[in-house]
Every structure is written in C-alpha cells, then in structure tokens.
Structure 1
Amino acid sequence: MNFNFKTLALAAIAFAFTACEQANTCNYDETAKTLSCPEKVYKTVSLAGKVWMAENMADYVPDNSICYGNDHANCEAMGRLYTWGAANNGLCPNGWTVPSQQDFKDVFGSATVEDLKKADGFKMVLAGFRYFDGKFADKDSSASFWTKDSYDDARAYLVRVTDTTITYEHFNKSIAASVRCVKE
C-alpha cells in the first residue's frame, strides 16, 4: 500500500477550510426578510440604506461566546454574548460583517431609547453583557453591541443602549457583548 502523508495532510487541511466555509454560509432571502443559517433563521430589516440582522447573533463559538448567566434559555431569548475577537473573526456569515460605529450612528441617529425599543424591525433586546472577569451585568437594563472598530490593542468600541442613553464607548476586548451583522 502506497500511503502518502503529505497528500493526506493537504486533503485534511482542504476539508477543514471547506467545512469552516460551509458552516459560515447562510442564505439571505430579501423577499422574506430572513437570513437562514445553520444555527437559526434570523429576521432582517433595512435601515439607513443597509440590511441588518434584526436579532442578536446566536452562533456558538467555543471559549468565545456565552449565554447570559450561563443559562441556555437566555441564548434562546437574547442571542449569545461574544468577545470582540470572536465577533470580528468570521462570526458574521459570508457576505455580512460586524457594523462600524458609523453604521450604528446612521441607524440610531437622533432616535431616543424609546424610539429604538418601539422601532419596527430592529428588535432591541436588553441582553446585558459579561465582564472579562466572568461577572454578568445589565440584563433587562442595557443592550451592548460590538462594533468592528478597535480603539487600541486592548479595547474596542461598543454601542451601549440603556433606558435613557445611547453611548459609544471603548471597553476591554475580553468582555462579552451582543453582535448584529450587516450585509456587505
């Protein structure tokens, strides 16, 4: 039997890349306003000239995503929480990306928090976040969304929506927050 380890290794690498690519492939249906992914069918909405996911991402990323309070029911209701690195390392489906601060500003504009909660389509979920030390905070009182914008090596920009304010702040990249994706 002639067994070539180099050929076997190359085949394994090709399979791994193909499997990852297929796992991150979703089907967007503009008419139905849905994005069908292996883990979930997400609703979408057109806002400020872009197509947004109308729900928080819920894709499991080992060691870099978590359910609020380590309770799977929270993932079902609010999506998963991700580190900045996980959010910006291929989490969004092919053809989609993590929004920039400017993308959020274009959508949120001069809207009030009440406007956002009532907005048709965006489905503001106050999913809170997890600190880098593992403590959870702000469920039902704030929504925190990662942007693709890095502040420095340790921090990145997060959009925070509370009962009264919308802020653009930089936080440690190790905290876990919600992610929405926009169509590229």
Structure 2
Amino acid sequence: MKPTFKTIALTTITLGAAAILSACDQANTCKYDEAANTLSCSEKTYKTANLGGKVWMAENIAAYIPDSSVCYGNEHVNCENMGRLYTWSASMTGLCPKGWTLPSQEDFRKAFGGATSATLKESASFNMQFAGFRYFDGKFADKGASASFWTSDSYDDSRAYLVRATDSTITYEHFNKNIAASVRCVKE
C-alpha cells in the first residue's frame, strides 16, 4: 500500500514536533558536579552552594527567555554580571534546569538562617547580587540597592512572593507577577 500525501505530511509533522520537543528538553538539561560545586548549563556554568539543607545555585540564573526575561536597563553587561530578570510566570514554567526548582519562601528562610542581608551580600556561598528589578511598566529600579528573588509561592491571581534584601533588611513581600526579578534555583 502506497503512503498518501496526508500520511506522509502527518508523519513529517509528528517527527518534527518530537525533534523540537527533544531539543527543548535537552536545552534545559544541565550537569551538576557535586565535587566542583558547579552546575554546567548551555548558557554558562553556575557556582552552587549547600545552604539550609539544600543545594542552591550561588548565582542568579542567566538563561534567555524571549519576552519574559531582560537585562537590567536593557544593557547586556548587566546580564553577564548579575544574571537576567524574569517575570514570575517565566520563573515558574521551566526556567530552572531539570532536577532543580524555584525555591519557596521557606527554602529562603532556611538557607539564610539568621544571617543579615549584609552578611549574605559578602558571603561567597550565597553570593547575593543587588541586581534590582524591572517594574511591570518597563521601568528599572534598585540596581546596587536591593536584591529581589522570586519564590514559588503565589499570593493570588496577580501577585506572588518575592524575597527582597537591602543592606539592612530581608523581607518577604507580594508583588505583581509581571515585574521582572532575579531567580535562583534549588536542587530537588
């Protein structure tokens, strides 16, 4: 029996979709080296640290996601130095590599212990970057003045919790899910 054009087209589309999904799956696969405390991903190799009973990325993630990630001030050098800024939705939908996840508020509390934000900023283990954030209207704020990290905890349909650190405080506040903030991932 000869294959029809419809059968050939359907087979081609199915194989193409499988190849695309496989490529996406491989793109988000990183290699964790426990001995070297590193996580090697396609965009860069991240330092890792054991904090609060979990393995954390010790750098802000820097993976490019079209329409959902930005460099502070739209300047690429800021992405190289401090990682990218992401919306909450982007941080929740596959940003973290396979086997890693967006931390909860409780994960941050355990990782920070009783440390002050000044101590965390100086600590090589967490390597806190005061990367600022981008408001939902596109304006940037707080570079050098604060660090803002998305958590996996949603507050309601339009807001989620951020961990915000300045030189003197660490707070857990809910913000609009469309602002762009830093992301750290923890090993599952």
Bucket of the pairwise TM-score, normalised by the shorter protein: over 0.9
Do structure 1's residue 173 and structure 2's residue 177 form an aligned pair? yes
Residue in 1 aligned with 2:133?
Answer: 129
Size of the aligned set, in residue pairs, is 184
Matches within 5 A, 1:1-184: 2=3, 3=5, 4-184=8-188
**Structure 2 regions of 5+ residues with no counterpart?**
none
CA–CA separation in structure 1 for the residues paired with 2:60 and 2:122:
17
Q: TM-score, normalised by structure 1?
A: 0.97
CA–CA separation in structure 1 for the residues paired with 2:81 and 2:147:
13
Deviates more, 1:12-21 or 1:30-39: 12-21
- The one-letter code of the counterpart of 1:147 is T
CA–CA separation in structure 2 for the residues paired with 1:79 and 1:38:
14
- The one-letter code of the counterpart of 1:140 is G
CA-atom RMSD in angstroms: 1.0
Hey, which bits of structure 1, 4+ residues long, moved more than 4 A?
A: none
Q: Which has the larger radius of gyration?
A: 2
Q: TM-score, normalised by structure 2?
A: 0.95
**Structure 1 regions of 5+ residues with no counterpart?**
none
Identity of aligned residues (%): 67
